[in-house]
Amino acid sequence: MTAGACRFCGAGLEHTFCDLGMSPLSNAFLSASQLGEVEPFYPLHAYVCGSCFLVQLRQFESPRQIFSDAYAYFSSYSDTWLEHARAYTEQMVGRFKFGPASLVVEIASNDGYLLQYFKRGNVPVLGIEPAANCARAAQKAGIPTLVKFFGAELAVELKAQGKSADLLLGNNVLAHVPALNDFVRGLKVLLKPQGVITMEFPHLLNLMRENQFDTIYHEHFSYFPFFTAEQVFARQGLKLFDVEKLPTHGGSLRIYGAHAEDRTKATSARVAQLLDEEARFGIADLRSYGNFAEQAKQTRRKLLEFLVDAKAAGKTIVGYGAPAKGNTLLNYCGVHSDLVGYTVDRSPHKQGKFLPGTHIPIFDPERIRQTRPDYILILPWNIKEEVMAQMAHVRDWGAKFVIPIPEAQVLS
Ligand SMILES: [Zn+2]
């Protein structure tokens, strides 16, 4: 029996990568009145394709349900992410000389947090964002934004209107696309003959090496080795001519794509280097994927051990942040408000709500100053430095920070 077909190559999915049990959708925050209602839980079971080695989830919810108006993620609330966007813009303009005659198109442009930097540099922009509330925030800030899902159909439509992209970018969107081949076909259609595509996504190699099982959640359909990303683009007549490793989200890749027939882009040595690194890891060998599920179980045991011991010693523990990865972690580990009393988040859209599944309440970060907990569990561990700097005052009463991944660890 197979669990369906690979969303890239169509081979039957037979090999479990990691089964995280049943979990609610990670962005399905609850209001107080919803706490007594039935909450949908879905299997969170990742498979690895034995043919192309794409790690993937089956799709249970349609993207329209996931990215509805209630979608609570506004990019602009993270300082680290804003700085990442600003530096990216500078790098792209410097390297590819985009100017007033260019068009930069961002897919899943959120509230316009990134395109604002191109706009300030007088480079024309277009955002494409399916979540209407995020798109409205962008339009209000003067960033032209279409409230649409990107795919081949929209690309053809835009091209017919005379629009095509000098730079076509998507950060953390490739992983969230259910119809992967249709999406990449759309990139091919919308790209100018000498245009550049950049896409960022968490690198599967890091996920495995650093035990980042909490980055697996329902809205995140695909987990790529570079090896597989290259095949996905090649199938649509696109080549990857460069790649960079980034520290974002615990270790991401930024890939650079162009038309296969574009002779103006030399292929960087970094492409062969990364393919070689992945080959040495055994990325195209199913045996390399066999230990991951056990690592996740060990991490769960260590986190629970820490929390239970701390509670037994009379300590108080609260969370910081309400990211998607936190929901996977807390649901998989079975951590409820008896262990982690509450969490805090800077986004006013999340404050006053409850985490899905675990029903841990979310407050304004100020709550930590008022209640003086002993431990603060940083759920977005990928931005732990930023969190620790913002919350430096907790050291006044001797509070300590804890990260859950790659294993529970108290930071002094
Ligand atoms: Zn496959």
Q: Secondary structure of 193-242 in the HEC alphabet?
A: EEEEEEEEEEEHHHHHHCCCHHHCCCCCCEEECHHHHHHHHHHCCEEEEE
pLDDT at residue 69 tops 50: no
How many A from CA of 51 to the centre of ligand 1?
5
pLDDT for residue 70? 42
Under 8 Å between Cβ of 187 and 173: no
How many A from CA of 316 to the centre of ligand 1?
46
How many A from CA of 139 to the centre of ligand 1?
38
Q: Give the Cα separation of 166 and 188 in Å (integer).
A: 12
How many A from CA of 61 to the centre of ligand 1?
21
How many A from CA of 283 to the centre of ligand 1?
13
pLDDT at residue 277 tops 50: yes
pLDDT at residue 71 tops 80: no
How many A from CA of 48 to the centre of ligand 1?
8
**Tens digits of per-residue pLDDT, 89-148?**
999 999 999 999 999 999 999 999 999 999 999 999 999 999 888 899 999 999 999 999
pLDDT for residue 159? 97
Greatest mean pLDDT range, 74-88, 170-184, 361-375? 361-375
How many A from CA of 189 to the centre of ligand 1?
23
pLDDT at residue 232 tops 90: yes
pLDDT at residue 191 tops 90: yes
Mean pLDDT of the chain: 93
- pTM beyond 0.85: the answer is yes
Q: How confident is the model at residue 88 (pLDDT cuts 50, 70, 90)?
A: very high
How many A from CA of 368 to the centre of ligand 1?
46
How many A from CA of 311 to the centre of ligand 1?
45
Question: Which two three-digit tokens encode residue 64?
Answer: 């329209």
Closest CA to 223 of 179, 162, 159, 177: 177
pLDDT for residue 65? 55
**Tens digits of per-residue pLDDT, 347-379?**
888 999 999 999 999 999 999 999 999 999 999
